[in-house]
Structure 1
Amino acid sequence: MFKIRKAVPSDAPVIFNLIKKLAVYEKLENDVITSVEELQQNIFTNNFAKVLMAEENGKPVGFALYFYNFSTFVGKPGLYLEDLFVEPEHRGKGYGKSLLIELAKIAEAENCGRFEWSVLDWNTPSIEFYKALGAKPMDEWTVFRLDKKGISDLAGK
């Protein structure tokens, strides 16, 4: 039995473990510097992000972490999917698609003008999956990032 539900504060350790597994899959395990406590604070107290939990027979098998941004061109909020992950042994059952459908329903209910996410260039299975759902790659855009040190440097500290 599969279900999707909104995460609650007691899910923070599970979310953290799924994030670590996602990082291994993406070959970015050294980039995970957060903690259960920081996730608890920033997701459930500060409400910077929201999480959907995917469960099979009451056991967490995946998650989707998202937040809202804003499009000046569209003049509406957008839903940004930061991370989507389903445990490898549970892939191919439609769970990832179910999470995306639930997020699309949330975006529609919130009158979002866009629903966006990023995918690593090498992740061909995910790219093909997203294209099959009707998503379009934004090939003409390049993502830029400042890490914590870069932010401090730019801020002049």
Structure 2
Amino acid sequence: MESNQLFSIRKAVADDVPLILQFILDLAEYEQLRHEVVTDEDTLRTWIFERHGAEVLIAQEGDEPVGFALYFHNFSTFLGRCGIYLEDLFVRPEHRGKGYGLALLKRLAAIAVEEGCGRLEWWCLDWNKPSIDFYLSLPAQPMDEWTVYRVAGEDLTNLARSG
């Protein structure tokens, strides 16, 4: 755990599942994507803590959870090693501007270095100027030459059946 007297970062445990879900819902609301959230506590518990598909860091101010980072490992064939993909980073609006988002990113970078990973990466919505400005200050580099593609839901099922 990383901490000072008021702020700490810890790894989430299974008892944090309701909190993790609430952070996801809060983030979805901020991103105007609440209608896309279909997960529930059981699904999160299964995929994060039983199948170990992702990991979560919880940022706390004293005993109050103020933010989270959900991440997982991916693999770069060009680097020949894993990287960390940050799926979600969220700090509650009333706690922004205190350095908590930066602290979460620094902790993720430290985890990547400790584990010998080749990179830390994430996506950001094009309209989210405050986050983009923050990421550029790190300095993170936008990958403008790449386009993200996705197959999900019924399209994923249909693609799988078409083979």
Same fold? TM cut 0.5: yes
Distance 1:54 1:126 in 2: 18
- Which of 89, 92, 100 aligns to 1:84? It is 89
Tell me the CA shift for residue 30 of structure 1: 0.3
Distance 1:34 1:13 in 2: 11
Off by >6 Å, runs of 4+ in structure 1? none
- Work out whether 1:150 is the aligned partner of 2:155: yes
- Which of 49, 65, 69 aligns to 2:70? It is 65
Distance 2:26 2:121 in 1: 22
- Work out whether 1:113 is the aligned partner of 2:118: yes
Unaligned runs of 5+ in 1: none
Paired position in structure 2 for 1:30: 35
Tell me the CA shift for residue 12 of structure 1: 0.2
Paired position in structure 1 for 2:3: none
Alignment partner of 1:33: what SS? Answer: coil
Alignment partner of 1:4: what SS? Answer: strand
- Which of 13, 17, 22 aligns to 1:12? It is 17
State the identity %. 57
Distance 2:77 2:155 in 1: 26
- Work out whether 1:128 is the aligned partner of 2:133: yes
How well do the aligned residues superpose, as a CA RMSD in angstroms?
0.7
- Which of 43, 47, 51 aligns to 2:48? It is 43
Deviations 1:2-34 (A, max 9, x none): 100000000000000010000000000001000
Alignment partner of 1:19: what SS? Answer: helix
Tell me the CA shift for residue 89 of structure 1: 0.1
- Code of the residue aligned with 1:123 in structure 2: it is N
Tell me the CA shift for residue 148 of structure 1: 1.9
Tell me the CA shift for residue 149 of structure 1: 1.0
Alignment partner of 1:62: what SS? Answer: strand
Distance 1:39 1:141 in 2: 29
TM-score (normalised: structure 2): 0.95
